[in-house]
Structure 1
Amino acid sequence: MEEYNSISDTIMESSRATPVVLSRRNLAAILLTTCLSSFATPYISSGVQIALPVIAAEYGISATLIGWVPTAFLIPYAIFLLPFGKIADTWGRRRIFLGGTATMAAGIAIAGLAPDFWFILAGMTVAGFGSAMTFATSVPLLTTNYPLRERGKVIGINTAVVYIGLSSGPFIGGILTDAFGWRALYLVAVPAALAALAAGVLFVPRDTGLRQEQGLRFDATGTAVYAAGLLLLILGASRLPAFWAFALVIAGTAGIAGFLIWEGRAVNPIFPVRTFVGNRPFTYSNIAALINYSSTYAITFLLSMYLYYIQGFSPAAAGTVLVAQPVMMAVMTPIAGRLSDRIEPRLLATTGMAIVAAGLFALAFIGWDTPVAAIAGILLFLGFGYGAFSSPNMNSIMSSVADSRAGIASATAGTMRVLGQIASMAIAMTAFSVLIGTVVISPEVADELLRAISASFVVFGCLCTAGIWFSYARGDLRAKG
């Protein structure tokens, strides 16, 4: 009961921390602004995957080197999420959001107009840095401006946009790349980012009620340890199952552990470990998010390989099948978000996680003769589960902390997403390495490819099943009785 009362007190503190009452028009403009920005980041990070073969062919880039295009985006995005969450809580979310949106737009434009391959890497790095700034602040801008009773609804809408960008990136990217070339993939995102910047300047209010920490020193040591540990973890996970990659993963994990120990003792930590110790809804919700992304991020990659090599689909045709998932997510996520304002988020999220686990096990049984309609049906089923899980889970994360910690809470959730994406691809690549080897994927190894895909989905299903417990065991946000 003490834990429930503590969480309830935190929510009440959050509701009191919004001193400015905005008009419905202004609130709608803030929602549109954050959604435009929230779409661009996952769209670029996922959509570029389908254009990599075309980019490699144009510049004569090896398979190993071309993999650095998404990695160049991922590394700064992952490393700077937490630091910018802390900076935004202290110095103002509006300025970090606007600066990040401008930086992201510049990076996307550099990549789209790149005269050579190295400019693409530079543009992706700049875009990743800017995306860390925007993702650390977009959800806090919603939760600190909208009234508490609408928090689940707006989180649901924003989360739907993130998932749509993540899942529709390959679909849109495939069509644009086929029709206009790979540069169009980048350049169509620039107007959306600039529109978000303009709307942010006009409608996002200046920050009030910031934490009075400006006189304290920034935790540079903790930031450096965190950056080094996460960098080693990302580099190692992306090169598994090589022996040296395992060594990097171990070193990176040790670095993250050292970071948490340091933050527990730091005077002004970028991640307030002591604040979150004992906050079960926050901790377990983030673990559930990590497991969810670890189980699901590689679905698009695996099914695109299946549809291309096993079913013989073109990239555009494969993208058309894969769009079934984000369509259902777009429908379900706002509904689940709104329901989480009235029903305990853990009940909705746990149901969604169970549905996703069932869908993953179903995908483990696809074969040579599986009808495309059956695959689309499973994707719709998965999309329903995603929607039921994602926005209630994010509502649980953001509602379990005070508004003064909203930036850190959002950045933590974003970091779980990135780490989950890394883990998901590492699992898939390990299955490919063990069951296919180092040969180039081609129709000649289609049987081995199908076994690797099935094995990956079995692992993902088991992992997601474990996540059901964390989702349910987080506890209720609202006080009992």
Structure 2
Amino acid sequence: MPFVRFLILAVCINSFCGSFMGSSIFIAIPAISSDFHVPPEYISAVINAYVIAVTAFLVPTIAIVQRIGHKRGFVVGSVVSAITSVLIALSPNFYTLIAFRTLQGLSNAFIFSTTYALLIDNIDSKSKGSAIGMTTACVYAGISCAPFLGGFLTDTIGWWSMFIISACGNFSAALLCRNIPTDNPEPHKLAYLKGILSLIGFVTFFTGLSMFINNHDGLYLLAAGIVLLTFYVYRELTSKNPLLKLSVVLENRILNGSLLSSMFHYLSTFAITMLLSMHLQLINGYTASMAGIILVIQPVVQCLVSPFAGKAADRFSPHMISFIGLVISGSSLCILSFIEPKTPFYMIALAQFLSGLGFGLFSAPNSTIIMSSVPREYYAMGSGLQALVRNSGMAFCMAMVTSVLFYAINSEEGTTLYIRELSAAMQIIFTFSAILTLISALFLLRSFRAIKQKP
């Protein structure tokens, strides 16, 4: 099948562009702040708007993709993402920037809900692990390039140039899909009201989660989101025309075990880079550029390991490979749980290496488990749910980190007491994260036992 190469290339381009933009925008915060004359802390609204939009729109887009087909959903997402990237680059003010970034979140929800579905639907079963591994490697390649390429583009051309490059990549991915066969799913009625209910529920929940530490109104939003999402799940499980067949997820122990394992893994590891950046700069006194060079160890190792892990998942048990990855990730967190101002550089580098190795071994094989556990008509759901649990894990992780730092640090920045409090807070976070990795491993073992018990 000659079109397979074009398909893998298209998916890899979108995977690289998505992760590159998600990481490089952090580098551009000062430049965006200066251009729009807003305080740097306000730029977090641009980041939160995208993350919340992606997460909130995933459930409706999964349902739409199941109706229009994987290829059409992927192309629509790629084209709209390219258009919104250009609009972001041309934004006349800060508010339109947030609006266009929200639209980009919607378009990327289409991409996330079709990426793995397209691969599994068109690639031989003996090679699907390798394809997923290559896609995962491109995600980490984007993260690895972000500090250097994003910083270079911001300094030499402007922050907007990153979005123009991303637009070119998304548009190229859409063009590469021309020769890919169009899948024609069976038409079914869309439950629009349930889609709106899930959308409002996720927006309310994650908005409340992002602001409840500093604003008591966030608690009300969080509670309202929980109520709305609970009602949505109830309606889905009791409806004759569900938006998504959640019963498939609840009854499939292989699927729900691997999804929960993924969520807890992201919950335990997502903040490593941010916390080590704070340690290197605020405690050890490294410059931002030097800290960036040190912190690139983890994504580079992930990028190098993921293709081999995906290929190994085609030959050996993906559960075993993922479990080994979790053990290694947990060991890196155990090392970091003893971090203090005098921790030698080689220990931080070792923890970074182990974290990258563990993440690389876990991600691609676990994605293979998830996509192999669902029937073809639910590929979009399997692909989209991976993105949903990933973003949820990240959001919960940031809420946990923000809470610990908010309540543990009471001193003025730069003082000796501040350094002690920050170091103690990091030890608490890394220790708790190591425990969360254990929970992730237990869910993965639950998924493995479900395979053994299948008749």
TM-score (norm 1): 0.88
Q: Map 1:291-370; keep pairs closer than 5 Å.
A: 291-370=264-343
Q: Map 1:35-434; keep pairs closer than 5 Å.
A: 35-166=12-143, 168-200=145-177, 202-208=178-184, 210=185, 212-214=186-188, 216=189, 218-242=190-214, 243-434=216-407
Give the Cα–Cα distance (whole angstroms) in 1 for the partners of residues 154 and 334 of structure 2.
Answer: 32
Structure 2 CA distance for partners of 1:311 and 1:291, relative to 1, 3 Å? same
Q: CA deviation at 1:479?
A: 8.0
Structure 2 CA distance for partners of 1:372 and 1:179, relative to 1, 3 Å? farther
Give the Cα–Cα distance (whole angstroms) in 2 for the partners of residues 174 and 449 of structure 1.
Answer: 27
1:380-436 deviation line (CA, Å, top 9, x unaligned)? 111110011111111111000011100011111110011111111111111111122
**Structure 2 residues without counterparts, runs of 5 or longer:** none
Between 185-194 and 415-424, report the one with greater CA deviation: 185-194
Give the Cα–Cα distance (whole angstroms) in 1 for the partners of residues 36 and 424 of structure 2.
Answer: 33
Q: Is the 8 A contact 1:309 1:443 kept in 2?
A: no
Q: CA deviation at 1:256?
A: 1.9
Q: Is the 8 A contact 1:234 1:422 kept in 2?
A: yes
Give the Cα–Cα distance (whole angstroms) in 1 for the partners of residues 252 and 357 of structure 2.
Answer: 29
Structure 2 CA distance for partners of 1:268 and 1:81, relative to 1, 3 Å? same
Q: CA deviation at 1:333?
A: 1.2
Give the Cα–Cα distance (whole angstroms) in 1 for the partners of residues 12 and 453 of structure 2.
Answer: 31
Give the Cα–Cα distance (whole angstroms) in 2 for the partners of residues 150 and 268 of structure 1.
Answer: 35
Q: Is the 8 A contact 2:11 2:135 kept in 1?
A: yes
Structure 2 CA distance for partners of 1:272 and 1:417, relative to 1, 3 Å? same
Q: CA deviation at 1:185?
A: 3.2
Q: CA deviation at 1:175?
A: 4.0
Q: Is the 8 A contact 1:347 1:472 kept in 2?
A: no
Letter in 2 for 1:303: L
1:199-228 deviation line (CA, Å, top 9, x unaligned)? 12x3322114x1x234x2x11222122112
Give the Cα–Cα distance (whole angstroms) in 2 for the partners of residues 159 and 94 of structure 1.
Answer: 20
Q: Is the 8 A contact 1:171 1:323 kept in 2?
A: no
Residue equivalent to 1:14: none
Give the Cα–Cα distance (whole angstroms) in 1 for the partners of residues 343 and 54 of structure 2.
Answer: 38
Give the Cα–Cα distance (whole angstroms) in 2 for the partners of residues 387 and 151 of structure 1.
Answer: 16
Structure 1 stretches of 4+ moved >4 Å: 439-444, 476-481
Q: CA deviation at 1:470?
A: 0.5
Letter in 2 for 1:117: F
TM-score (norm 2): 0.93
Between 385-394 and 469-478, report the one with greater CA deviation: 469-478
Q: Is the 8 A contact 2:270 2:394 kept in 1?
A: yes
Structure 2 CA distance for partners of 1:431 and 1:268, relative to 1, 3 Å? same
Residue equivalent to 1:9: none
**Secondary structure at the counterpart of residue 242 of structure 2:** coil
Give the Cα–Cα distance (whole angstroms) in 1 for the partners of residues 390 and 412 of structure 2.
Answer: 29
1:270-293 deviation line (CA, Å, top 9, x unaligned)? 220222332111001110111011
Q: Is the 8 A contact 1:344 1:477 kept in 2?
A: no
Q: CA deviation at 1:440?
A: 7.9
Letter in 2 for 1:206: T
Q: Is the 8 A contact 2:74 2:114 kept in 1?
A: yes
**Secondary structure at the counterpart of residue 207 of structure 1:** coil
**Structure 1 residues without counterparts, runs of 5 or longer:** 1-22
Give the Cα–Cα distance (whole angstroms) in 2 for the partners of residues 358 and 373 of structure 1.
Answer: 15
Q: CA deviation at 1:480?
A: 7.2
Q: Is the 8 A contact 2:16 2:139 kept in 1?
A: yes
Q: CA deviation at 1:195?
A: 1.6
Give the Cα–Cα distance (whole angstroms) in 2 for the partners of residues 413 and 36 of structure 1.
Answer: 19
Q: CA deviation at 1:54?
A: 3.1
**Alignment partner for residue 463 of structure 1, among 420, 436, 441?**
436
Give the Cα–Cα distance (whole angstroms) in 1 for the partners of residues 413 and 381 of structure 2.
Answer: 41
Q: Give the root-mean-square deviation of aligned CA atoms.
A: 2.2
Q: CA deviation at 1:371?
A: 3.2
Corresponding pairs, count: 452
Give the Cα–Cα distance (whole angstroms) in 1 for the partners of residues 284 and 152 of structure 2.
Answer: 19
Give the Cα–Cα distance (whole angstroms) in 1 for the partners of residues 71 and 376 of structure 2.
Answer: 14
